[in-house]
Amino acid sequence: MRKKLSATLVISLFILLTTLSAAPANGVGQGEWITNYTIRDLRTQAILEQRDFQTSPNTATPQLLGGAELDITITVRVPITVPDSSLTLTTNMQHSTVEDRYWELAPGYPLTNYNPNSATVTFSQNEGTLVISCFGMIPQGMTETTVGGTVMHNNATSVLIALNGPSGELLDQIKVDVIDAKISEYRSKLAQRESELQALRDQGVSEAYLALYANIVSQSRYVADQGFTDNAIGLLDSLTVAEAPPATVGASMADTLFLPSVIGLAVAAVLVAFLFVRARGKASYVSSVVEDQIRDLEGLTVRAAKVDRNLASGLETIEDRLKRAVGE
CB atoms within 10 A of CB 298: 14
| Residues 96, 291: Cα–Cα separation, whole Å | 50
What is the rounded CA–CA span in Å between residue 67 and residue 54? 30
Let me know the angle formed at the C-alpha of 262 by 259 and 266, rounded to the nearest 5 degrees: 170
Q: How far is CA 191 from the centre of its chain?
A: 14
Same domain, 68 and 107: yes
Q: What pLDDT, on the 0 to 100 scale, is given for residue 58?
A: 67
Between CA 218 and CA 212 the distance in angstroms is 10
Q: Is residue 4 part of a domain?
A: no
Residues 171 and 238 in one domain: no
In a domain, 8, yes or no: no
Range of the domain at 157: 25-179
| Whether residues 29 and 54 fall in one domain | yes
Q: Is residue 206 in some structural domain? A: yes
Per-residue pLDDT of the chain (328 residues), as tens digits, is 444 444 443 334 443 344 344 443 334 445 579 999 999 999 999 999 998 888 877 667 888 999 999 999 999 999 999 988 999 999 999 999 999 999 999 998 988 889 999 999 999 999 999 999 999 999 989 999 887 777 889 999 999 999 999 999 999 999 999 999 999 999 999 999 999 889 888 888 777 778 778 888 888 898 888 888 888 888 888 776 655 555 555 545 445 444 444 445 445 545 554 555 455 444 454 455 456 556 656 666 666 565 556 656 666 666 666 666 556 6
Bin 227: left if φ > 0, else alpha if -120 < ψ < 50, else beta: left
d(C-alpha 136, C-alpha 150), whole Å = 30
Regarding whether 306 and 216 lie in a shared domain, the answer is yes
Bridge partner residues of 41 (DSSP) = 70
If asked whether residues 29 and 175 sit together in one domain, one would say: yes
Last residue of a domain, one of 144, 179, 214: 179
- Provide the pLDDT for residue 54: 81
Query: Are 149 and 227 part of one and the same domain?
Result: no
User: Could you tell me if 324 and 270 are in contact, meaning their C-beta atoms sit under 8 angstroms apart?
Assistant: no
Type of residue found at 205:
V
CATH number at residue 40: 2.60.40
Total-model pTM: 0.67
Q: Is residue 7 part of a domain?
A: no
Q: Which of 114, 146, 179 is the last residue of a domain?
A: 179
* Shared domain check, 265 and 150: no
**Dihedral, 54, 94, 168, 105 alpha carbons, nearest 10:** -50
193 shares its domain with 254:
yes
**Looking at residue 168, what is its pLDDT?**
92
Q: Could you tell me if 67 and 174 lie in one domain? A: yes
Residue 274, pLDDT score: 54
Is 276 strand, coil or helix? helix
Domain boundary among 179, 206, 230: 179
Claim to verify: residue 58 and residue 78 sit in the same structural domain = yes
Confirm whether 20 is domain-assigned.
no
For the chain, the domain total comes to 2
* pLDDT in the model for residue 71: 97
Query: Is residue 313 included in any domain, yes or no?
Result: yes
Same domain membership, residue 211 and residue 112: no
Same domain flag for 153 and 247: no
Establish if 12 belongs to a structural domain: no
Residue 145, domain member (yes or no): yes
